């Protein structure tokens, strides 16, 4: 049974890279009929941000990435917040000490700082607590055992560190990256248990993945350097047989490909990096895809393609279709460049797929807010015209208002260029024609216009530009019969008159 987890730390809002990690975990679980677990990794109390966990839950909900187990969903492997699992970690740190794979370290932060400074001065800027330097530090490997006991009994502060072998090749096969091999000589003796009685990420993560029976660890590439340590922890705790398989996902890159797209990019690059809007404790507001009018399905579809593709031409995938098509082995190694234009394109595709009747209902509500009421036939007629040009539902609402409200401003350049000679006389005659015929449906308007052109033996250019400018103020927009039908014959005539008063010919 496949069991995967998404394990965010509630240190702030989840950015879209985090959502992609959650999504890939979800897709993989569902593809294999497995379980998707949400685990909140909140062991670092100093980085805890109120509201972040709630934000994570809400973002996943909006995206339709629903955990089978988690702090809200519950489940038999809970609790699903590490702070609530605090009591269970210590025994594993003790076990590692007993088996000689971990030790107590009493060095104060001042002593460590001092050590780093001295190393820097002698030309070693990257001092680490490791298999070589630990011999000169204050720990249970160097101090006499009587002193170690005395310090422990006296309650002296200490941390527990992993004891790495000096030279050993640690190897594992990553589903995305293939074989990864790191020598322990390039690793350090990481802290597993802190003086505040909390485990560090490394210990808690391994203990939880093991006790929650996680089969695959799918996470961002930034965790790749920690993976060899995790492999050793599985080994030292005697859990190697059930060690999960790793899959490290490629980084999300800024649109120019220069560096990682980070939370700090906020709206700086001209697009949101968060699924939902987030307000910081200082009152700074970061925009979200949801509030910017994106469909969650479009956002998810776009994210799925940041680092994966099905190997076919197909780009539009529902969640269900993604589940069927997803394959971890097809995830790219190379960083995935974020493309904002493509994101808008996805939204446009999803907008086009929306049901016209429900878009008509939402348009009616938004028009009501502007005190405009439109018959159902006109609403339904308008929707496909608006859809054609829009990326967001709001664009449709804006364009609808542009049509329904008489123009106040006119593109004067076009008026000068396109409305001249006998165009005024032609336009006035057309208004008269409308008054006498009072067409009602869109086809009627089309007939009246065509018959008028034919009867007068003129080209469309004699009437088209003037009429369009009179109705909309500009040269853009849907076809003239469509506009006339939606606003009605009476309003069409009124707009022509107003236009002719303003621009007499
Ligand atoms: N808590 C880690 C994070 O915030 C989880 C890393 C992992 O999935 O192991 O990304």
To test the pocket of ligand 1, the residue of 41, 207, 215, 233 to mutate (highest count of ligand atoms within 8 Å of its CB) is: 41
- The DSSP bridge partners found for residue 252 are 336
Q: Which atom of ligand 1 is nearest to the CA of 219?
A: 8
DSSP per position, 347-382: HHHHHHHS-HHHHHHHHHHHHHTTT----HHHHHHH
Burial class (CB in 10 A: 0-12, 13-18, 19+), 224: middle
Of 255, 319, 228, nearest in space to 22 by CA: 319
Model pTM score: 0.92
Please give the chain's pLDDT, 505 residues, in tens: 999 999 999 999 999 999 999 999 999 999 999 999 999 999 988 899 999 999 999 999 999 999 999 999 999 999 999 999 999 999 999 999 999 999 999 999 999 999 999 999 999 999 999 999 999 999 999 999 999 999 999 999 999 999 999 999 999 999 999 999 999 999 999 999 998 899 999 999 999 999 999 999 999 999 999 999 999 999 999 999 999 999 999 999 999 998 999 887 878 889 999 999 999 999 999 999 999 999 999 999 999 999 999 999 999 999 999 999 999 999 999 999 999 999 999 999 999 999 999 999 999 999 999 999 999 999 999 999 999 999 999 999 999 999 999 999 999 999 999 999 999 999 999 999 999 998 988 899 999 999 999 999 999 999 999 999 999 999 998 999 999 999 999 999 999 999 999 999 8
pLDDT at 434: 96
Inter-residue contact 117 to 127 (CB < 8 Å): no
What pLDDT does 325 receive?
Answer: 98
Among candidates 502, 235, 482, 470, which has minimal Cα distance to 379? 482
> Which CATH fold topology does 412-502 show?
Arc Repressor Mutant, subunit A (1.10.10)
Encode burial over 365-386: b for 16+ CB neighbours within 10 A, e otherwise: ebbeeeeeebeeebbebbbebb
Total H helices, total E strands in the chain = 19, 13
CA gap 33, 1 in Å, rounded:
8
Residue 9 alpha carbon, nearest atom of ligand 1: 4
The Å distance, Cα 291 to ligand 1 centre, comes to 27
* Token pair in block for residue 311: 């190997």
3-class secondary structure for 193-223? ECCCCCECHHHHHHHHHHHCCCCEEEEEHHH
Probe residue for ligand 1, chosen from 40, 205, 229, 248 as the CB with the greatest number of ligand atoms within 8 Å: 205
The angle at the Cα of 40, spanning 236 to 225, to the nearest 5 degrees, equals 45
d(CA 282, CA 88): 36
Q: Is 290 marked active-site?
A: no
- Kindly state the tokens that stand for 479: 């076809």
In 3D space, the residue among 216, 171, 158 whose CA is nearest the CA of residue 21 turns out to be: 216
Query: Ligand 1: distance of its center to the CA of 8 in Å?
Result: 5
C-alpha to C-alpha distance for 287 and 143, rounded to whole angstroms: 54
Of the listed 263, 342, 378, 450, which one is catalytic? 263
Whole-number Å distance, alpha carbon 479 to ligand 1 midpoint, is 54
d(CA 220, CA 252): 9
Answer whether 36's CB lies under 8 Å from 4's CB. yes
Ligand 1 centroid, distance to 13 Cα (angstroms): 14
pLDDT of residue 438: 86
pLDDT of residue 25: 98
List C-alpha distances in Å: 112 to 45, 117, 196, 425. 22, 9, 18, 90
pLDDT at position 44 is 87
- Ligand 1 atom having least distance to the Cα of 6: 8
Round to whole Å and give the CA distance between 374 and 372. Answer: 7
Nearest to 495 by CA among 474, 477, 470, 475: 470
CB 250 within 8 A of CB 333: yes
Q: Rounded to the nearest 5°, which phi and psi values hold at 174?
A: -95, 135
Rounded Cα–Cα distance for residues 166 and 188 (Å): 10
What is the distance in A from the centroid of ligand 1 to the CA of 219?
A: 7
Tell how far the Cα of 15 is from the centroid of ligand 1, in angstroms. Answer: 13
| Å from CA of 5 to ligand 1 middle | 10
Give φ, ψ of 425 to 5 degrees.
-65, -40
Q: What is the dihedral of CA 391, 393, 394, 399, to 10 degrees?
A: 80
Residue 9 CA, ligand 1 centroid: distance in Å: 7
Burial 198-217 (b: 16+ CB within 10 A, else e): bbbbbbbbbbbbbebebbbb
What is the reported pLDDT for 262?
86
Ligand 1 mutation pick, 4, 9, 53, max ligand atoms within 8 A of CB? 9
The pLDDT of residue 264: 79
- Residue 347, both tokens: 């939204």
Token pair recorded at residue 370 = 């502007």
Q: What is the distance of C-alpha 155 from the center of its chain?
A: 46
Residues with CB under 6 A from ligand 1: 7-9, 41, 201, 205, 219, 223
Q: What's phi and psi for 110, nearest 5 deg?
A: -65, -45
Contact yes or no for 199/43 (Cβ under 8 A): yes
> In testing the pocket of ligand 1, which one of 4, 8, 26, 47 has its CB within 8 Å of the most ligand atoms?
8
Structure tokens at 35: 């379980």
């Amino acid at each position: 049974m496949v069991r995967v987890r998404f394990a965010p730390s509630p240190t702030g809002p989840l950015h879209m890279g985090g959502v992609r990690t959650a999504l890939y975990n979800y897709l993989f679980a569902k593809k294999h009929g497995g379980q998707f677990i949400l685990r909140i990794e909140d062991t670092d109390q100093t980085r805890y941000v109120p509201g972040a966990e709630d934000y994570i839950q809400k973002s996943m909900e909006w995206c339709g990435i629903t955990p089978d187990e988690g702090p809200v969903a519950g489940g038999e492997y809970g609790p699903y917040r590490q702070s609530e699992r605090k009591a269970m970690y210590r025994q594993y740190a003790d076990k590692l000490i007993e088996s000689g794979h971990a030790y107590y370290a009493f060095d104060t932060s001042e002593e460590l700082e001092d050590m780093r400074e001295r190393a820097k001065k002698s030309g070693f800027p990257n001092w680490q607590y490791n298999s070589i330097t630990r011999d000169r530090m204050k720990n249970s490997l160097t101090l006499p055992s009587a002193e170690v006991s005395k310090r422990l009994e006296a309650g002296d502060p200490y941390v527990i560190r992993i004891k790495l072998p000096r030279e050993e090749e640690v190897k594992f096969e990553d589903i995305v990256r293939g074989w990864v091999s790191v020598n322990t000589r390039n690793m350090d003796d990481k802290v597993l248990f802190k003086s505040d009685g909390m485990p560090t990420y490394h210990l808690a993560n391994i203990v939880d993945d093991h006790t929650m029976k996680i089969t695959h660890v799918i996470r961002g590439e930034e965790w790749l350097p920690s993976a060899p340590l995790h492999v050793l922890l599985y080994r030292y705790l005697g859990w190697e047989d059930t060690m999960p398989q790793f899959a490290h996902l490629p980084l999300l890159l800024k649109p120019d490909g220069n560096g990682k797209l980070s939370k700090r990019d906020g709206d700086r690059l001209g697009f949101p990096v968060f699924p939902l809007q987030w307000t910081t404790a200082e009152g700074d507001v970061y925009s979200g895809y949801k509030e910017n009018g994106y469909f969650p399905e479009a956002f998810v579809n776009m994210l799925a393609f940041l680092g994966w593709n099905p190997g076919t031409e197909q780009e539009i995938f529902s969640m269900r279709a993604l589940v069927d098509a997803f394959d971890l082995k097809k995830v790219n190694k190379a960083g995935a460049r974020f493309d904002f234009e493509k994101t808008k394109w996805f939204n446009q595709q999803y907008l086009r797929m929306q049901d016209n009747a429900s878009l008509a209902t939402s348009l009616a509500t938004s028009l009501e807010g502007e005190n405009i009421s439109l018959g159902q036939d006109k609403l339904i007629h308008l929707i496909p015209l608006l859809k054609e040009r829009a990326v967001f539902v709001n664009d449709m609402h804006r364009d609808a208002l542009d049509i329904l409200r008489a123009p106040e401003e006119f593109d004067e350049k076009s008026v000068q260029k396109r409305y001249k000679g006998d165009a005024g006389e032609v336009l006035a005659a057309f208004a008269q024609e409308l008054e006498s015929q009072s067409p009602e449906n869109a086809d009627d308007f089309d007939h009246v216009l065509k018959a008028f052109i034919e009867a007068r033996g003129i080209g469309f250019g004699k009437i088209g530009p003037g009429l369009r400018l009179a109705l909309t103020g500009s040269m853009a927009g849907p076809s003239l019969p469509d506009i006339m039908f939606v606003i009605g014959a009476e309003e069409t005539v009124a707009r022509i008159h107003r236009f002719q008063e303003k621009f007499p010919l």
